[in-house]
A and B are shown apart, each in its own frame.
Chain A
Amino acid sequence: MKFFFFHLMPYADLDLDYDKKYNSAWVTLPNSYYDPKKGHALYNRYLDELEFAAEMGFDGIGVNEHHQNAYGLMPIPGVMAGALVRRTKDCKIAVLGRALPLLNAPLMVAEEFAMLDNISGGRLIAGFVRGIGAEYHSFGANPAESHDRFHEAHDLIIRAWTETGPFTFEGKYYHVNYVNTWPRPYQEPHPPIWIPSQGSSETIEWASHPSRKYTYLQTFSPVTVLARYMGLYRQQAEKYGYEATEEQLGWSIPTYCAETDEIAVKEARPHIEAFLNKFLRMPVEMLLPPGYLSLKSLMGVMSAKRDIGPGGKLTIEDVMQKGMFLCGSPATLREKLEQYQKEIGFGYLLPTMQFGTLPHELTKKSTEIFAKEVIPYFRRKDAAKTVRAATAGR
């Protein structure tokens, strides 16, 4: 199992009483709630945390993309990734945006990712997403075109990376006479592609296709939902006539590690509860504009989302019990992860080690304990497995 330290970069200084006046930290929360001086400190603090994770030996670090909200301050994740590639040496850098349907010129993503891949010498992992529903309100992008635009923009980018230009791309939404991307990506044929999703059978069907075999990343979902979608990916791969590997499956989950279970819960509680009830807060009309999900998926996700939807306040116990938040001592986290990994079989774990209002010192402490006492356990296991496989192959 490989570990990626994943950051959302929330506006942690948010006045948490905003919800007395506004119903969401997205779309309609006035940006007067944002103080650039505090933002300056936060950006630099968060970049420090990502660099610290790289020093601590995480296999990779990951940045995120969201727009016009207090939940995540990375509307242009390439800016963060650009700062990080020059400050890290060996670790992978995953950009888990880019929200393709929001863009009028998706070729810019081909360029941005190719630049990062060149500067880093091939350490980039390219994420493609549709963005979340709120962003279709914020950008005036049509959610009813979301799926079609995503697929077409993806095809355009892959062709820009793999075909000699200039060539003509003739799509419904994008028609470009001279596709000729400079620079070309460093990795051959292109950077690995990850598809973060909150769970969709259509996405899995597409990502697992033999022509793609992209890593499917389940984000912030109950562990039972994770198991269901990972199972679906494997079944779909079988239908396509191949066996999915662990590298095709990943899980992104808020994580907190401390000296004991008791300390972990005590220290994490206010911050994860702020994340759940303040930063994630949005009405369903914002979250799921028409067409963002197919009519078929809509009914399914509506029922699953009841778990984290608006309305009732969520507690740390709620999310720990559902396996949506990893929180505890190193021994507890080792045990849980080993069990989940055995049952579900994912190859990548992306712990979000800063969430909500979690301050720098606690983020750093948790990151360090996790890196020193959880990650090595799985490295030793993987090494033993490799030796066994090599011996068996003799």
Chain B
Amino acid sequence: MAGQESFETVNKCKTRLMRGGKGAPMIFLHGARGASAWLPFMDKLAETFELIVPEHPGFGGSDTPPWLDNVGDLAYFYLDLIDHLGLDGVHVVGTSLGGWIAAEIAVRDTHPLATLTLVAPAGIHVKGVAKGDVFMWSAEEIMKRLFHDPKLAEKALAQPVPEAEVMIQAKNRLALAKLGWQPRLYNPDLYKWLHRISVPTLILWGDDDKVIPPQYGPAFAELIPGARLEVIDKCGHLPQIERADAFVAKITAFITEAAR
């Protein structure tokens, strides 16, 4: 199965979406590398949910609108998109940069949200705990540090990158820099606002995350009232790729429990 591609224009920004499945609505907010393709974990989530995968303004097949300066702009954009799509009781899942965006959405307005899942999110800074420098690493180093299992990095590196994907990755890196170069991948105010999150929240982290160290997990869990922290073992920064089954199982279990 593959997601159905469509485009929606919100706040004068033509936005690319992929959708698939039936059930309660779930928005998946991608990380720095974008969401140009429908991946196996999306299929799995689509068995239980109506999965909606937008590409953030500034990324991939979406426009780069003139109003895009920071993650707060994206948070309001997604609240508007949720309105535009007429969604209610939506489960928001965000990984890495997408997790940061999801947290910024939730501190602004949790009314349309049913649950929140933050997967190795950026967005806060813990003094003395450095994130990996994704802007200084070479493409090869990034791949090696994204995964726990070096074989996955080797496999990814062995695949030829099509010309169009090179352009998309350059565009995505530009958008990432715009949003997160300085301060590096966090909003210095966000930690003060996280207590406002009033929906059930799951925080997921790979135990061998070399991009955003797992020490950030407890820091988020402490700041979000009632948040549940779960660590996936033998896993790097991309649980949805590296441990797709555990990733989907943990999210599904959390949402089922939250609905009780």
Beta-carbon contact of B136 and A286 below 8 Å: yes
Beta-carbon contact of A290 and B138 below 8 Å: no
Report the minimal beta-carbon distance from B185 to chain A, rounded to whole angstroms: 12
Q: Which residues of A contact B7 (CB under 8 A)?
A: none
B176 at the interface (CB under 8 A from A): yes
Residue of B167, B181, B182, B183 with most partner-chain A CB within 10 A: B181
Beta-carbon contact of B170 and A290 below 8 Å: yes
Q: Which residues of B contact A145 (CB under 8 A)?
A: 178
Q: Give 1 or 0 for each of B166-186: 1 = CB within 8 Å of chain A CB.
A: 010011011011100111100
Once A137-B135, A285-B136, A290-B135 are accepted as A-B contacts, the answer to whether A295 and B178 lie under 8 Å apart by CB is: no
Beta-carbon contact of B171 and A142 below 8 Å: no
B137 at the interface (CB under 8 A from A): yes
- Interface size, chain B (Cβ < 8 Å): 16
Once A137-B136, A285-B135, A286-B136 are accepted as A-B contacts, the answer to whether A291 and B178 lie under 8 Å apart by CB is: yes
CA distance A137 to B135 in the complex (A): 9
CA distance A286 to B174 in the complex (A): 14
A241 at the interface (CB under 8 A from B): no
Of A27, A289, A298, the residue contacting B177 (CB under 8 A) is A289
Beta-carbon contact of A285 and B137 below 8 Å: yes
Q: Which residues of B contact A290 (CB under 8 A)?
A: 135, 170, 173-174, 176-177
Q: Give 1 or 0 for each of A139-182: 1 = CB within 8 Å of chain B CB.
A: 01111110000000000000000000000000000000000000
CA distance A285 to B138 in the complex (A): 6
- Interface size, chain A (Cβ < 8 Å): 18
Of A142, A284, A298, the residue contacting B182 (CB under 8 A) is A142
Residue of B167, B182, B183 with most partner-chain A CB within 10 A: B182
Beta-carbon contact of B170 and A295 below 8 Å: yes
**Which residue of chain A has the shortest Cβ distance to B178 in the bound complex?**
A144
A189 at the interface (CB under 8 A from B): no
A283 at the interface (CB under 8 A from B): yes
Of A136, A141, A283, A291, the residue contacting B138 (CB under 8 A) is A283
Beta-carbon contact of A142 and B178 below 8 Å: yes
**Which residue of chain B has the shortest Cβ distance to A302 in the bound complex?**
B170
Beta-carbon contact of B135 and A144 below 8 Å: no
Report the minimal beta-carbon distance from B216 to chain A, rounded to whole angstroms: 20
**Which residue of chain B has the shortest Cβ distance to A294 in the bound complex?**
B174
CA distance A207 to B171 in the complex (A): 26
Report the minimal beta-carbon distance from A142 to chain B, rounded to whole angstroms: 4
Q: Which residues of B contact A144 (CB under 8 A)?
A: 174, 177-178, 181
CA distance A298 to B170 in the complex (A): 9
Q: Can you name 22 A-B pairs with beta carbons within 8 Å?
A: A136-B181, A137-B135, A137-B136, A140-B181, A140-B182, A141-B182, A142-B177, A142-B178, A143-B177, A143-B181, A144-B174, A285-B135, A285-B136, A285-B137, A285-B138, A286-B136, A289-B135, A290-B170, A291-B178, A295-B167, A295-B174, A298-B170
Q: Which A residues fall within an 8 A CB radius of B?
A: 27, 136-137, 140-145, 283-286, 289-291, 295, 298
